[in-house]
Amino acid sequence: MTGIPDMDPAQAIELAALGRQKPMNDVIDLGSSNVQQLYKGKTIFVTGGFGFIGKQLIEKLFRACDIKKLYILARSKKGKSIQERLDHMLTNPVYDVLRTKKPNFADKITPIEGNVEELKLGLNEEDRAMIAKEVDIIFHVAATVNFDEPLRRATLTNVRGTREILQLAKTCDHLIKYVHISTAFTHATEEHISQDVEEKFYPVPVSPGAMITMVEEVDEKRLNAITAELIKGWPNTYTFTKAIAEELVNRTAGDLPACIVRPPIVLPSYYEPQPGWLDFSTLAGPSGIYLVIGLGIIKAICVDGCVRLAMTPIDYVNNAIIASVWDSTERRKKTGATDIPIYTMAKKEKFFKWDYLGVIMRSKCERIYSPKVVWYAESLQIKSRKIYTLVAFFLHYIPAYIIDFVCTIIGKRPQQISSFVDVYKKIDKLGGVYDYFLSNDWDFRDDNVEAMLSRLSPADKAIFNCDLNTLDLAEYIQVWAIGLRKYILKDGLKNSHIGGRNQKYFFYAFLIFNAVYFYCLYWITSFVFSIVWYIFNILF
């Protein structure tokens, strides 16, 4: 692939993905594209900058554009000041390329003490006045993405936080754009299963104002008791409150120049700033499932392999977010349209199927297994939750109890694992959270994104590539795998041949183990059954 015979296959895949940066690198430093010109000399305010999307959004803004300053909403956490948190965040590998190109970029970033869950965002009057005077563009990325979040906190963060940032945006003297980051799944409700979800506002069952008042005034226990009925049709409080937040933007933005971007499930980067970049927060999703399958930790997963799941690499998502500011501004300028455009970064031709993921893992990824893989990497796909629970009991939990017992007897246990049973409980909880999305699909329309692509100049298409037609799924799945190796397992993308060799050994060990294991289960079950039958005959 690369002409370098001694290169590890994982490194070769990384190098090939880096080759996709060439069209961007050929023009990015010119700074003359339409989108770059819009951002030149601008001051930006970002909420949610410490999250997965926020980190790479900040990186791309500085790497691609000549912005004047960036304010980031931050709060003290775990004994660290906002400046300490920012300094720590900027050591993330996502900024490695940027540090090389623009060593002093951090001098333009200023953290501002605040909290999206608080009234007025927890900002003091001096900072509010500074933002109103200086800020040109606002990216509201902050949200609680915990699917199981209690309704009160989900509403205070996702809905009331949106109200507070909108009120702040309206005080800005020369605001060019307010960009609201939502999710493609806001209206992936039961009534829309297997149907189109368009780039438009849909009705919600409760007004944003009433929702905010309710969580502010109703006792939390009572609120939790009525949550299931209140969010009926939505799978969780996250998608429900994000839908309410969109409606809040629709009703209250007024003349504010605003747009909404709806990413689906956001995956590691395809090729920028580095192929496969991700952080640990992404493990609470498909990346975590992919990782434990690839490590050989799980032998079964509850999923319909034919269901299509909308997932998009983070670099495509943030390129669309950045480009949407230019596109919606030009649209408003040329047509006089004052409506709020919605951009959905999902294309049904590029949806993922777990069946296909399994095919690529077996046919392409076998040569890039990490030497840290612990067992044979193969997993059954089971549609029924009830059948999965039964299979998991035999394939996951019984072996886990045995291993925990042995570890207790010998007094040794792998680092950071207190209980193998708990590991499987956490994996099952993660799978349960995604059950709804792994069992149903929707056709997300991306008409506005397609229209935006038609208006972008060739230079902007190269710099801010958000054309999902350029996504090669087979290649990307391999890039995803090396991202997990490089940024989570941290194996240096070396010794793939050892990982491949171990897989062969694990395969034979897996066959032998299963033969012995199921024979023992059969013997124990037969013995127990015979004892029960004997006692039954004596008594009756």
Decide if pLDDT at 1 tops 50: no
The whole-number pLDDT of residue 417 equals: 65
| Domain housing 83 | 31-281+310-351+442-469
Decide if pLDDT at 538 tops 80: no
Report yes or no on 302 lying in a domain. Answer: no
Between 113 and 384, where is the model more confident? 113
CA distance to 118, 191, 229, 336, 415, per residue, from 241 (Å):
16, 17, 14, 31, 38
Stretch among 1-5, 190-194, 378-382, 499-503 having the lowest mean pLDDT: 1-5
Decide if pLDDT at 3 tops 60: no
Average pLDDT over residues 497-517: 90
The whole-number pLDDT of residue 74 equals: 94
361 — pLDDT class (breaks 50, 70, 90): confident
Which among 309, 289, 414 has a CA at the least distance from the CA of 351? 309
Q: What string of H, E and C letters represents the secondary structure of 117-145?
A: CCHHHHCCHHHHHHHHHHCCEEEECCCCC
The residue whose two tokens read 């050929």 is 26
Report yes or no on 52 lying in a domain. Answer: yes
Tokens representing residue 167 in the block: 């009120």
Average pLDDT over residues 186-197: 93
413 — pLDDT class (breaks 50, 70, 90): low
Decide if pLDDT at 416 tops 70: no
Report yes or no on 255 lying in a domain. Answer: yes
What is the Cα–Cα distance from 453 to 464, expressed in whole angstroms?
10
Q: Give the CATH number for residue 57.
A: 3.40.50.720
**Does residue 80 sit in helix, strand or coil?**
strand
Average pLDDT over residues 448-456: 96
Report yes or no on 381 lying in a domain. Answer: no
What is the Cα–Cα distance from 492 to 486, expressed in whole angstroms?
6
Decide if pLDDT at 2 tops 50: no
Average pLDDT over residues 145-165: 93
Tokens representing residue 14 in the block: 């990384």
Decide if pLDDT at 327 tops 60: yes
Decide if pLDDT at 469 tops 80: yes
Radius of gyration of the chain (CA): 25
CB–CB of 83/109 below 8 Å? no
49 — pLDDT class (breaks 50, 70, 90): very high
Decide if pLDDT at 4 tops 60: no
91 — pLDDT class (breaks 50, 70, 90): very high
Angle formed by the axes of helices 286-294 and 354-363, nearest 10°: 40
Q: List residues bridging with 381 in a β-sheet.
A: 301
Stretch among 186-195, 272-281, 404-413, 451-460 having the lowest mean pLDDT: 404-413
The residue whose two tokens read 């990782």 is 291
What is the Cα–Cα distance from 330 to 325, expressed in whole angstroms?
9
What is the Cα–Cα distance from 308 to 435, expressed in whole angstroms?
13
Which among 373, 218, 178 has a CA at the least distance from the CA of 294? 373
529 — pLDDT class (breaks 50, 70, 90): confident
The whole-number pLDDT of residue 540 equals: 65
Q: What total of structural domains would you count in the chain?
A: 1
Which among 185, 321, 157 has a CA at the least distance from the CA of 265? 185
Report yes or no on 106 lying in a domain. Answer: yes
DSSP per-residue codes, 287-309: HHHHHHHHTT--SEEE--TTSEE
Stretch among 120-124, 363-367, 392-396, 465-469 having the lowest mean pLDDT: 363-367
Query: What tens digit of pLDDT does each residue of 97-122 get?
Result: 999 999 999 999 999 999 999 999 99
434 — pLDDT class (breaks 50, 70, 90): confident
Between 436 and 418, where is the model more confident? 436
Q: Which amino acid is at 272?
A: E
Angle formed by the axes of helices 161-169 and 237-252, nearest 10°: 30
Q: List residues bridging with 353 in a β-sheet.
A: 308
Query: What tens digit of pLDDT does each residue of 209-260 get?
Result: 999 999 999 998 999 999 999 999 999 999 999 999 999 999 999 889 999 9
Burial class (CB in 10 A: 0-12, 13-18, 19+), 3: exposed
Q: Which residues fall within 8 angstroms of residue 192, CB to CB, at 6 or more apart? A: 442
Report yes or no on 531 lying in a domain. Answer: no
Report yes or no on 333 lying in a domain. Answer: yes
State percent of the chain over pLDDT 70: 97
Q: Which residues fall within 8 angstroms of residue 527, CB to CB, at 6 or more apart? A: none
Report yes or no on 233 lying in a domain. Answer: yes
